[in-house]
Amino acid sequence: MGTDQAEKEPLRSQTNSNAKKMSIPTFRHSDLRPPPLPVGENSHQTDTESTPLDDASKNRTSRRSMQSTTSSSVTNSTIREITETWTVIALKMKWSIIALSLNGILILFVYNLQNGLNIDIDRAVVANYGGVALELVLLICNIISIWSLEEAASCIFGYLLCQKSGFSLAVCGYLQTPSFSKLAFSQTLSLTSPSRKVLTRISFIWITAEALKLLTPFSAITIRAKQFAMFNDVSDCIYFVQDDLTGPVDRGWPTFAAEGGVTEYVFGSSLGYMRSEVPDINVTTAIYPPTLISPLNNGDTIIGLGFSAEIFSTCKCASGINEAAFVAVGVNRDHVNKTISLLTGMKQKMGITFGLEYTDKSIQISNVFSGVNTCGGAGTETILPLVCTTAIYNHNAIMVENTFMTDGTTASIAPDVVKAMEIVGPGNIEKWLAFGLNCLIEGPVSGFLLPPTVPGQVNPLLWWTTPNLIAIDRAAVEAGMETMYSVLFKGSIQRTYTSMATQCPRKNTLNSHVTTMGMLPEGVFVTQIMLAVQMAISLCSIAAFVVWFFSPNPIGPAVRATSESVYLMTLLTSSPHLGVGLNELCNAETYAIWQRLDVICRIGESLDTLEEEIGKIIVDKPSLQLCCWVLLWFAACCSAKLTAEEKRVLKEAADEADKHIRTIEHKDLATFMAKGYYLITYGATWCRLTQRFTPHWLEVQDEFDHRGWNKVPNFGIGKVQCAVDEAFCVNTMGTHDGYPDIRLYYDGQLLEEYNHGWDKDSIIRFLEHVYEFVKQEHIEAAVPEHIEIMEKVEKEKPAAPAPSREPIHEQIDVIKHLDDNMLDHDRVDEEYYRKELGHQIQDYNDEVKYARITGISVFVCACAMVALFAYSRRSKLSSRYQQVTDRS
Reported as a single tens digit per residue, the pLDDT across 428-474 is 999 999 999 999 999 899 999 999 888 888 889 999 999 888 888 98
Residue range 44-65: mean pLDDT, rounded: 41
Question: What pLDDT band is residue 569 in, cutting at 50, 70 and 90?
Answer: confident
CA 881 to chain centre: 44
pLDDT value, residue 629:
35
pLDDT value, residue 805:
67
Closest CA to 123 of 361, 334, 2, 298: 298
Q: Are 595 and 189 in contact (CB under 8 A)?
A: yes
pLDDT value, residue 163:
85
Least confident among 7-16, 48-57, 236-245, 714-723: 7-16
Give the up-direction half-sphere exposure of residue 191: CA atoms within 13 A in the CB hemisphere.
12
pLDDT exceeds cutoff 70 at 819? no
Residue range 637-662: mean pLDDT, rounded: 75
pLDDT value, residue 7:
36
Least confident among 296-305, 371-380, 607-616: 607-616
Question: What pLDDT band is residue 420 in, cutting at 50, 70 and 90?
Answer: very high
Q: Are 226 and 381 in contact (CB under 8 A)?
A: no
Question: What pLDDT band is residue 279 in, cutting at 50, 70 and 90?
Answer: confident
pLDDT value, residue 194:
78
- At 384 the three-state DSSP class reads coil
Which has more pLDDT, 393 or 6?
A: 393
**How far apart (Å, rounded) are the C-alpha atoms in residues 370 and 822?**
102
Least confident among 157-171, 196-210, 731-745: 731-745
Q: What is the rounded radius of gyration, in angstroms, for the C-alpha atoms of the chain?
A: 47
pLDDT exceeds cutoff 80 at 82? no
pLDDT exceeds cutoff 70 at 68? no
pLDDT value, residue 238:
94
Which has more pLDDT, 292 or 811?
A: 292
Q: What angle do CA 587, 593, 594 make, to 5 degrees?
A: 160
pLDDT exceeds cutoff 90 at 74? no
| Region class of 667: left (phi > 0), else alpha (psi between -120 and 50), else beta | alpha
pLDDT value, residue 422:
93
Q: Between the ranges 120-134, 141-155, 721-735, where is the mean pLDDT highest?
A: 141-155
**How far apart (Å, rounded) are the C-alpha atoms in residues 537 and 100?**
9
pLDDT exceeds cutoff 70 at 349? yes
pLDDT value, residue 221:
92
**How far apart (Å, rounded) are the C-alpha atoms in residues 464 and 473?**
9
φ and ψ of 492, to 5 deg: -65, -35
pLDDT exceeds cutoff 50 at 520? yes
pLDDT exceeds cutoff 60 at 47? no
pLDDT value, residue 816:
47
Residue range 687-695: mean pLDDT, rounded: 85
**How far apart (Å, rounded) are the C-alpha atoms in residues 21 and 557?**
11
Q: Are 486 and 274 in contact (CB under 8 A)?
A: yes
pLDDT value, residue 641:
55
Question: What pLDDT band is residue 495 in, cutting at 50, 70 and 90?
Answer: very high
- pTM greater than the 0.75 cutoff: no
**How far apart (Å, rounded) are the C-alpha atoms in residues 337 and 340?**
5
pLDDT value, residue 849:
65
pLDDT value, residue 32:
32
Q: Are 534 and 103 in contact (CB under 8 A)?
A: yes
888 CB-near residues (< 8 Å, 6+ apart) = none
Least confident among 27-36, 448-457, 675-684: 27-36
pLDDT value, residue 282:
92
pLDDT value, residue 580:
59
